Structure formats: C-alpha cells, structure tokens
Amino acid sequence: MHADSSALYSMSPTLPPPPRQPYSHLRRALSFDDDVRGGFQEPETEEDEEDLDLGHRFPDPESDGFPAGCLWEILKRLPPAGLLGAARVCKGWRETARRLWRAAEELRLRVPARSQVGSVLQKCPGLVRLSLRMESDVDATMLACIAFSCPNLEFMEILKSEAAINRISGDELGRFVADKRCLKSLKMEGCSNLGGFVLCSSSLSTLWLSDLFSLSKTVFNCPNLKEISLEFSCQQNDSTDLITMVDGVGRNCPRLQNIHIASVRLSHSVVLALTAAELRWLRMLSLVLGSEITDASVAAIASSYPDLELLDLSGSSISDSGIGMICNVFPETLSRLLLALCPNVTSSGIQFATAQLPLLELMDCGMTICDPNSENSVPDESNDCEIKNTSNTQLHLIHQKLIIKHNRLKKLSLWGCSGLDALYLNCPELNDLNLNSCKNLHAERLLLQCPNLESVHASGCQELLIGAIESQVKNNFSAMENVLPSCKRLADGSKRVRVPHFLSAQSYEDDKKPRFERRHCNVLVS
C-alpha cells in the first residue's frame, strides 16, 4: 500500500500539511551500490512514502455491495492515513480495515512533530518490519510502545529529521535489544545521548548506530552479528576509547562480515586491535575519517584479511605505497575501493589500482588530487604569476593527468579533484561518473570512451568542460576524433585512413546484425 499523502493521521481539508524536515539518512558505505537496505526496500520515488505491506491476503465478506475480496484489494492500496479515514465510513469498512492492519507485516511511516505512533502500532500486532521517519522526538516511551505492540519485530529502522532529538539512553536501548528476542536488524540515527550501552542478543545480525559521542562503555555480546556500522560525531572532544571498543567487538562478534566505523579518533592502534581479532568471515571493511591511519595500517589489514571485497579508507593518510600493498594482496577479491579525502594519494596510485585490480567495479577518489593553492578559484590569466612562483612539487600536484582503462569498472567518483587537468577513460561498463568541482580539468584534455554512461555529475565545472562532456556522451565516436592516426599516403598519391584498433576487430558480418540504440546519458550540473 503506497502513500499519496505524507501525513500520519487524517487531517482537516482546511489545514495545510506540516512542512517536511530533511532527514540525514544513514550512510551506506557497506552497501555502496546495493539496492537492498537490510530488509527495507527503497521507495521508488524521491518523496518520503508511507507504506503498509501485507504479507498474505485475507478473504473478506461482501460489504456494501462490494464482492468478496474487492474491498480488501481497494483498501490495501490506501496509505495509512487513508486507511484510518476509510475505517470511519461504515461497520463493514471498519472491519476490513481492522483486518488489514492486523495482516500488515511491514510498516513505513513519517511521524510529524508532536505526534504519537502508539495508536497505529497497536493495530499491527503482526509487524515484522518497521521504519519510522521521525519529525517528533524519540524517547523511551516510544521504544517501550514498539516493544509492547510489535512482539514479532525483526527489522527496525528509526530515521530522524534535523529538528528531532533522540533522547534514548544506552540502558534503555540495551533493555529493548535484550527483550526483543526476534530482532535481527536495528538501525538508529541521532544516538548522541546513549552515553554507553551493553547490547546482548543472540538474534541480532545487523546493527547501525549513527551520531555516537563520548561512549563511556561499549559491550557487544552478539555472537551472530554479521554487519556493524558505528558513526561518531566529528567533534574533536569525543572521548570514546575506540581501541577497547574494537577489541570487544572482535572478541564477542566472531561472525562479522561487514564493519564500518567513522570517527576522527581512528588510528593505527585501532587497526591493530581490529586485526588482532582475526575475523575469518570479514569481507567489507570501512574505516573512515582516520587521519592517523597510515600505510602501516594497510599492511596490517592486508596480512590479516586477504579476502576483502570492499575497502574504504577515506580520510586516511595512506599514500601510493599503501595502494601498492592493496593491489598486491586483493587482486582476486576486491571489487570496491574508496579512497576519498586521502591527500597523499596521487593520480599514479589511482592508475596503478585500476590496472592491478581487474575485479574493480566501484572506485571513489574524491578530493584526492587537489590543488594545494586554492580550494575555490578556477585558474585564469589573473593568477598566472602565482603559478609561475609555485614550487615544482606543487605544480606536480596541480597538473596531474589520469588515464584509466578498465573492463569492469561501473562507478567512478573524482569529485573535488581540483588538481586534475587531464582525464582519459576507456571503461566500456562505466555507467556513473562524478566530476563535481573538477575545476581545473580542461575540455581539450578530456576523453570519454564509455558507451554505457548513464550519468555524469559535473556541478562546479567550467562551461567548456560541461560542453565537451555533453558532446562526447551524445556520440559514441566523437571522443575518438582527436586520437585517430593520420592518413597514410599510398604510392599512387591517394590517401588511406587507417581503421582504429577498437574498430578493426569488428567483422563485416557485424554490420548485418541489428543495432541497439545507446542509452541516454544525463549530464547533471546542479
């Protein structure tokens, strides 16, 4: 049942709906390009939707002239607010609505400010999946209401708007997890007031907590936990002991497959504590914002976890040497590599990674190749004198070119690479390219040989570059014009144009085969 309205309760026609609050949304580093959110399907539209999913169908008697089952099929397509209104029509409709609520297995709701969700949850004792988008504060009363009303709950997600406050403490969260013996997935935003917690559960397999701050105690006794995501506040005065926390996670959660930790306090010592845990099933590792993570940390990770499929070290201090270690250890497993905000990585390291990792499908190098002199200005004639006075080292950082040829790469992000002035891509499977704020990339030094491109993000780029991108993505072969070999003059004085290598392999029979139109590519500039 999909929503056409975003209000939780029926409202008077004379009252406008409340303004929507932006949601921060949990970061999905562990499933960067996946479509499934741990049990919750994303809405098909960009609007926040309410949803009531019915796991099975109940036949209902005829009501007010409707044949058996017809009213059921009509009402189940209403949003929750519409279903509440339909129950007031007559006794037959009220009974059908009651059965619909009881049959619901998944409920996705937006809770406006100063509203309570308890009256709706009491109607749905069979809920298995619950997702709440809170514009109202989250507190222990709401948590207790969920625990009482949804005894079979397996998946719970609580998102909050910027105006809402999550007041749940660590003790309250620990009691909730311990009491919900069926709970498999817990995702919660705004956890700045936890203080500390003890989580004990034999059923929990997925745990996402964001906005954590200064945790005095962290105990994870979850033997079947497979995925954990812990995002901390970026405040420098965070006092959480990450070494002790990671050591406890490793000892008490031996089945972990995916780990994501985002904290400015991440360091080489934390990495050593993690590698000492010897998590044999670990496949995805994301350690973000740790400026004290170095090439030595990469060596420790590579020696302990040689089967990684995703590695995210964004915000670290690793260099091209660290990338070399990654390439030596993970050529047969790694498909996603994220190295955004790594100032010591150069275009040479990125090129080496794409050449040595044949299974790579996603790479994020945002803000790695940066202009050290200017963050906001685009070079022009007015600052030529500044460029002349720049040291050779800085010139090397500014004028970098990137050449990537890869047969499997699907997503490439170079956002904010202001030091990049030349880009050549030969990636037949590439469908998403992010060039936002590549301010010094020259139009005449751009070549895109990517026939399957669907989206190119070019916000903050020069107008000439945007025009070059639009020109190249609209024509498969327009990007080849500047690289075709010169004409060869024969003995009789005539000229012969040599066929490029990428075309010479095609036989004459290929021309007889039906041709399929190339996908339309969107160039996004805002």
- Which residues share a beta bridge with 41? 36
Say what the pLDDT of residue 28 is: 40
pLDDT of residue 81: 64
CA–CA separation, 459 and 446 (whole Å): 16
Triad 107, 163, 526: Cα angle to 5°: 85
H helix runs in 37-128, sequence order: 70-75, 80-86, 91-103, 118-121
Phi, psi of 190 (to 5 degrees): 70, 40
Query: Tens-digit pLDDT profile for the chain (526 aa)?
Result: 433 333 333 323 333 444 444 444 444 444 444 433 334 444 434 344 455 444 444 444 444 555 546 765 666 656 666 666 666 667 667 666 666 666 678 888 888 888 777 777 877 778 889 999 999 899 999 999 999 988 989 999 999 998 999 999 999 999 999 999 999 999 999 999 999 999 999 999 999 999 999 999 999 999 999 999 999 998 878 899 999 999 999 999 999 999 999 999 999 999 999 999 989 999 999 999 999 999 999 999 999 999 999 999 999 999 999 999 999 999 999 999 999 999 999 999 999 999 999 999 999 999 998 876 654 433 333 333 333 333 344 444 567 899 999 999 999 999 999 999 899 999 999 999 999 999 999 999 999 999 999 999 999 998 999 999 998 988 754 444 444 444 454 555 444 444 444 444 444 444 544 444 546 788 888 7
d(CA 273, CA 283) in angstroms, rounded, equals 17
Cβ atoms of residues 521 and 453 within 8 Å? yes
- The reported pLDDT for the residue numbered 474 is 80
CB-count burial class (<10 Å; 0-12, 13-18, 19+) for 220 = buried
What pLDDT, on the 0 to 100 scale, is given for residue 17? 40
Three-class DSSP category at 177: helix
Q: How far is CA 183 from the centre of its chain?
A: 24
